[in-house]
């Protein structure tokens, strides 16, 4: 055997050994905490879909997405009902916590309502307790509702509460995904009529779960949830977090 061939065989053998002993990526868990725009839906609610449902399938096998979001919850009620403690009791060093609230915090007619100052304080609590556990918090502004003015321009849904999320992220120097602005831009691009395709909108008799139809401009269908999840993933890549390297290349 020639010297050249021996060298090639040796190189292949060494590469094989290197691949065999390469340490696999450390397992990491991503917790999603928030409201019904993220949460896992029962079959009885389909085609309503939280964006956290498709989000879980965009990562490689080293990532486990644990969707703890609950319908109708605010920063306050999620804590008061023990959902947040259940997360902090499970947190480990290196985990991620994606935090998106606002829809129910800003609703003054609901028991879940939080004042602007309370909302700020609760967000700080989520961030600080995540950091204390050695985990990584990622704040997310509330995803926009589908609202257009008479001239076809998308309207702001969460102006005050989104601003609070941005301010807390800046003050505490933690990553933030501005899903409010990104989802508004998506709806504007699609237009007032076509953006209905993102939401759980059904005509009477179209789906057995909603025989009377549904006109929902807050909750997504399967297509809409995937598009919103893609926005979150796109912003995650821009943050240069290690987690982004585990997104499956498509």
CA–CA separation, 219 and 48 (whole Å): 6
Taking each helix axis from N to C terminus, what angle separates 159-172 and 116-132, rounded to the nearest 10 degrees? 40
What confidence score (pLDDT) does residue 15 get?
A: 41
Tell me whether strands 28-34 and 63-67 are parallel, antiparallel or unpaired.
parallel
Residue 17 and residue 184: Cα distance in Å, rounded?
50
The predicted pLDDT at position 243 comes to 97
Task: Give 10-residue mean pLDDT values along the chain (250 residues).
Answer: 44 40 73 98 97 97 98 98 98 97 97 98 98 98 97 96 98 98 98 98 95 97 98 96 90
Q: How many helices (H) and strands (E) does the chain have?
A: 8, 7
Angle at 195 between CA 189 and CA 199, to 5 degrees: 140
Give the pLDDT score at 41.
98
pLDDT at 24: 55
Longest dimension (CA), the chain: 84
Domains plus CATH for the chain? 24-246 (3.40.50.1110)
Determine the pLDDT at residue 12: 38
Contact 24, 55 (CB under 8 A): no
pLDDT of residue 21: 41
Q: Which of 167, 170, 171, 151 is nearest to 159 (CA)?
A: 167
d(C-alpha 190, C-alpha 197), whole Å: 9
| Residue written as token pair 């059904």 | 202
What pLDDT is recorded for position 33? 98
| Residue 6 pLDDT | 40
């Amino acid at each position: 055997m020639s010297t050249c061939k021996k060298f090639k065989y040796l190189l292949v053998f060494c590469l094989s050994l290197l691949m065999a002993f390469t340490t696999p990526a450390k397992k990491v868990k991503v917790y999603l905490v928030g409201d019904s725009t993220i949460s896992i839906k029962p079959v009885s609610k389909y085609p309503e879909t939280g964006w956290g449902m498709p989000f879980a399938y965009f990562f490689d096998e080293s990532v486990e997405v644990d969707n703890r979001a609950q319908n109708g919850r605010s920063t306050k009620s999620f804590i008061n009902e023990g959902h947040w403690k259940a997360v902090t009791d499970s947190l480990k060093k290196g985990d991620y916590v994606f935090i998106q609230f606002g829809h129910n915090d800003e609703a003054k007619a609901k028991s879940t309502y939080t004042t602007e100052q309370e909302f700020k304080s609760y967000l700080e609590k989520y961030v600080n307790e995540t950091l204390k556990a050695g985990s990584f918090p990622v704040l997310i502004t509330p995803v926009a509702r589908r609202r257009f003015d008479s001239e076809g321009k998308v309207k702001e849904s969460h102006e005050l509460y989104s601003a609070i999320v941005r301010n807390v992220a800046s003050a505490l120097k933690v990553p933030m995904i501005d899903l409010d602005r990104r989802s508004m831009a998506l709806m504007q691009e699609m237009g007032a009529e076509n953006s209905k395709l993102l939401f759980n909108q059904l005509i009477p008799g179209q789906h057995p779960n909603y025989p009377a139809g549904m006109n929902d401009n807050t909750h997504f269908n399967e297509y809409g949830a995937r598009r919103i999840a893609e926005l979150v993933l796109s912003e995650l890549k821009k943050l240069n977090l290690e987690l982004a390297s585990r997104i499956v290349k498509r």
